[in-house]
A = this chain, B = another copy of it.
Amino acid sequence: MPIPILSCDRNSKEVYSRFLSGAREDLSSATSRILPILEDVRTKGDSALFCYTEKFDGIKLSKLTLNPKEIQTNVDSKTKEAFLRAKSNIEAFHMAQKREAWSKVIDGNRLGVKYTPIPSLAVYAPGGKALYPSSVLMGIIPAKIAGVQSIQLITPPQKEGIPEILVWLTQILEIDRIVTVGGAQGIAAAAYGTESVPKSEFIVGPGNSYVAAAKSYLSGQGLIGIDSPAGPSEVCIIADATSNPKWIACDMLSQAEHGEDSSAILLTTEVSFAEKVRDELEIAFRERPKRLEMKQKAIYENSSILVFPTMEDCIWFSNELAPEHLEIQTRDNDSVFAKIEHAGSVFLGPYSPVAMGDYISGTNHILPTARGSRIYSSLGVDTFLKRVTFQEVTKESLETLYPYVKLMSELEGLDEEHGTSVKVRTKGQT
């Protein structure tokens, strides 16, 4: 049972609708399990954090935070070189996103915008096997460039100590502290603040369902800001017969490597090309059998090759899908990209597999999933900036505009005070 090749057009809803459900993980059972934990952290602070860490991580901590500057690290030079190259590229791409204040005169008055950073950020890094140091770069660099003053890393303690690569990253990124508390209790510490852990106003970073449930619940209560909710990772690839079927298969498998619920959708117009990609997937399963069951489940059950009549149809479907990652490998990538409306991060041409953006090109890999790119953006400097609008009205303009304010406020039943607050400033008053 290889990957399904499905011929369809824009009306074949029965064929493609399952890819458009945009389903997110159901967090309701995780939420009910974490609510008592959140409440304990809120009311008992540090002592709840010590207690849950012993219970869930089996570790008796003597203190909850570490100062990165006080920790010895011994990361090898090759690893340092790789992460420093990534850091430099991510910094260059995000520096270009900085915003300038502006003002202009509109109807006689000076109006404008300035941008200010959010005050504080927590970045969550999962423990155990889920070591993603690249996500630490992606979360922290845009915040530093935005000017966020206070940044802390939240991560579960580990018997063998916090991984050296994480500690070294917090050193070169000049992070204030490492909070060695994981799970829902770590998220609660950041949202409420405790004796040892200062409150953060915003939190980003991947985590398991308890972490996701805690982020979602606390954000809903207005206690902390979050990036867009994370779902299974997905890629959409628009390709024609000018592209390399083996490379396309590799890119689909690179997505499948994230988990059995990951999805890779190839959109093309040529059945013979689709068949080549299908065959390359089977070859790859034989050649690279690591985590075979997981990858096959992702490819056979959650992925598909959809063959549409025209390239315009492929573009239309990609916009319906609003994928997290979009690869475009066609005769004319720029003209296809010009028609793309909704996608998190786009990879153009044969030499831009998603893995390049995951690690090193400089774009951010924290992206909206589950069709979220219809309304949300990737993480960026804007995520950590607010637009503060301002105005300075002149005496003359207030005189001119008062009759309009009077009329409009009367219509809304707010003339007595709203209207008066302008009227008292007009000539002949006071």
Contact = CB atoms under 8 A, between A and B. Distances in A.
Number of copies of this chain that the complex holds: 2
B288 A355 contact: no
Contact of A106 (B92, B372, B388): B92
A24 B78 CA distance: 50
A222 B220 CA distance: 12
A73 interface: no
Contacts of A361: 106-107, 109, 111, 391, 393, 401
A276 interface: no
Given A251-B421, A411-B133, A380 B387 contact: yes
Interface stretch (A60-68, A180-188, A343-351): A343-351
Interface in A384-430: 386-395, 397-398, 401, 403-405, 407-409, 411-414, 416-422, 424-425, 430
B246 A401 contact: no
Contact of A386 (B93, B348, B370, B376): B376
Given A342-B386, A409-B355, A93 B79 contact: no
A427 to B, nearest CB: 12
A18 interface: no
Contact of A388 (B86, B333, B340): B340
A94 to B, nearest CB: 10
A83 interface: yes
Contact of A418 (B119, B341, B358, B391): B358
Given A97-B113, A377-B387, A392 B348 contact: yes
Contacts of A358: 409, 418
A158 interface: no
Contacts of A340: 116, 388
A370 B413 CA distance: 24
Interface string A84-111: 0110110011001100001010110111
A162 to B, nearest CB: 15
A135 to B, nearest CB: 9
Contacts of A378: 387, 389
A261 interface: no
B351 A393 contact: yes
Contacts of A408: 82-83, 86, 133-134, 359-360
A235 to B, nearest CB: 10
A21 to B, nearest CB: 11
B390 A345 contact: yes
B24 A420 contact: no
Nearest to A390: B346
Interface of A: 22, 24, 78-79, 81-83, 85-86, 88-89, 92-93, 96-97, 102, 104, 106-107, 109-111, 113, 116-119, 129, 131-134, 165, 201-202, 216, 220-222, 225, 229, 244, 246-247, 250-251, 253-254, 256-258, 288, 290-291, 295, 333, 337, 340-364, 370, 372-378, 380, 382, 386-395, 397-398, 401, 403-405, 407-409, 411-414, 416-422, 424-425, 430
Going nearest first, the 9 A-B pairs with the smallest beta carbon separation are A82-B404, A257-B417, A346-B390, A377-B387, A348-B392, A250-B421, A225-B375, A353-B421, A355-B418
12 contacts: A85-B401, A89-B106, A92-B106, A116-B342, A119-B341, A132-B412, A247-B424, A342-B388, A345-B389, A346-B390, A360-B401, A360-B408
